[in-house]
């Protein structure tokens, strides 16, 4: 009973990052970890410095053994996940077992990362693939930078509402 109360307390009063650290995820400095599922072996996950993992992301360290257990009853296999420094993982992305993500990587929302990712790229899709390199992404985004990060929500709303359409991302 006490265990249930403690789990409930941690779930409601601890930050997602603190919960992850408690579960065994190795997390570097200056990270922003939101509501993320770290699976049943969180101690097999290592996250570098300055990493943001957004809502709904799921990291899997195992999978697929079920279909072989009739033939091999003790079958189990795992893969560590290593995330480098200065990485952004967009909402609802899935990171599969054994994947390493390099430094300076942006993973688009909804991506399914099935293979390791090199440094300095933007990836997206299902399965995730390289879309561009960080330098090209930077050039495009600097051109439409609106410098609102230090603004409060009311000031930001007024400012963004006053901008012409040409100042926004276009696809």
Active site residues: 62
HEC assignment per residue over the chain: CHHHHHHHHHHHHCCHHHHHHHHCCEECCCCEECCCECCCCHHHEEECCCEEECCCCEECCECCHHHHCCCCCCCCCECCEEECCCEEECCCCEECCCCEECCCEEECCCCEECCCECCCEEEEECCEEEEEEHHHHHHHHHHCCCCCCCCCHHHHHHHHHHCCHHHCCCC
């Amino acid at each position: 009973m006490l265990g249930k109360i403690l789990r409930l307390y941690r779930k409601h009063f601890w930050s997602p990052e603190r919960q992850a650290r408690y579960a065994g995820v190795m997390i570097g400095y200056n990270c922003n970890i939101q509501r993320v599922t770290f699976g049943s072996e969180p101690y097999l996950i290592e996250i570098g410095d300055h990493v943001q993992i957004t809502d709904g992301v799921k990291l899997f360290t195992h999978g697929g053994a079920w279909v072989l257990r009739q033939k091999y009853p003790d079958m189990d296999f795992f893969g560590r996940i290593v995330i480098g420094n200065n990485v952004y993982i967009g909402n609802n992305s899935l990171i599969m077992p054994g994947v390493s993500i390099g430094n300076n990587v942006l993973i688009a929302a909804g991506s399914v990362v099935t293979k390791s990712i090199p440094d300095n790229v933007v990836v997206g899709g299902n399965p995730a693939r390289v879309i561009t390199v960080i330098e090209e992404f930077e050039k495009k985004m600097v051109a439409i930078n609106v410098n609102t990060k230090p603004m409060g929500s009311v000031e930001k709303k007024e400012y963004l509402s006053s901008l012409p359409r040409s100042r926004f991302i276009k696809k």
